[in-house]
A = this chain, B = another copy of it.
Amino acid sequence: MTVTEVPAGGVTISAAAELSGLTVDTLRYYEKEGLSLRRPGRSASGQRRYTEEDVRWLGTLVMLRRTGMPIRDIRRFVDLYRTEGSEAQRLAILEAHREHVLEELNEVQTHLDAINRKITYYKELVNG
């Protein structure tokens, strides 16, 4: 099932979880924390139904989380998303976040270089 295969009536929370790579619990947690762009609709009996757009938004949340943005900051971003004419601010947040991620990557890369040197050293020690 790909994200484009969301039926008209929307999918259940467990399907949305699978599509997004999150867990059912995490989806409900994110919603509680105000990270949903809009609360997903509900079936007649009160169960969540995620539209394609909802599922795409989950992808955005994953993108931000997995690059290390804290929940608190994502909430600020989402709040802007709900505000008309906030495009410039959203852009600013994304650019600041990108800088942050690049610094992170840089630092990790530096430490990775050190790990590689250590590996080379051990390889010579063990095999050489």
Interface set of A (CB-CB < 8 Å, partner B): 62-63, 66-68, 87-88, 90-91, 94-95, 97-98, 101-102, 104-105, 107-109, 111-112, 114-116, 118-119, 122-123, 125-126
Interface residue SS majority, chain A: helix
Query: In the complex, which of the residues A68, A87, A104, A115 has the most CB atoms of chain B within 10 Å of its own CB atom?
Result: A115
Q: How far is the CA of A62 from the CA of B125 in the complex (A)?
A: 23
Q: Which residues of B lie under 8 Å from residue A126 when comparing CB positions?
A: 87-88, 91
Q: Using known A-B contacts A122-B87, A122-B91, A126-B87, determine if residue A109 contacts B98 with beta carbons closer than 8 Å.
A: no
For the complex with contacts A67-B108, A67-B112, A91-B122, 11 further pairs of A-B residues with Cβ separation under 8 Å are: A63-B114, A66-B107, A66-B108, A87-B125, A90-B122, A91-B119, A94-B115, A95-B119, A101-B115, A104-B108, A105-B105
